[in-house]
Amino acid sequence: MATNEAMKPVNLVIFGRQGSGKGTQCAMIITELGSIHISTGDMLRAAVEQGTEFGLQAKAIMDRGELVSDEVISGIVAERLAQSDVTQNGFLLDGYPRTLTQAESFFGILNDLGLTLDLALNLDVPIDEVTTRMLSRGRADDTEEAIARRLDLYEKETAPLFEFFLDQGVFEVIDGLGSESEVFDRLNTVISAVISGKSQ
């Protein structure tokens, strides 16, 4: 993934089941591209700590023990994407959007900020493989039943999103089986094609 000073920042969204190796691949992508890795959890915590408009709203909701709404999450994303490190370096968004409502808001946010999404990547690892990987970690909350529930929720949430991004013409499925370097090579090939297109 060769980059140059004149190249426009690359903006990416990444999906992947728990246990797909997404965290590892995100780290490799941002090292290569210099993009800003934005995960929903980190972004939410930072907004609360910084006392931003939507961070304060999120804190009040969480203090009541309720789930943060799509509107507030999207507001926090908008605040983060508007920051100069993101506009200058591009982003790798991880954990957002999770619902169709969020996806629709996301494209509105990009439009308002004058940004475009280059790719939505789905790191595809079969359910039986990610289940085996998670069970082998030996975590207390990684029982077969708990894993099955989390994966089922992921399937229900993300399946409509894949159709949405496919309709936008930016969706790519990446085979997530193999070594870390093999998977990264596949991601690299797809992202490099986008970089080549942007630099022409």
* Positions marked catalytic: 22, 98, 137, 139, 150
| Residue 143 three-state SS | coil
What is the spatial distance between Cα 13 and Cα 52, in angstroms, rounded to a whole number? 24
**Planar angle of CA 44, 119, 12, nearest 5 degrees:** 30
* Cα dihedral 80/30/137/128 (nearest 10): 90
Which residues does residue 173 pair with via DSSP β-bridges, in sequence order?
122
| Residue 126 three-state SS | coil
Give residues with Cβ within 8 angstroms of 16, minimum separation 6.
Answer: 22, 25, 122, 123, 124, 125, 176
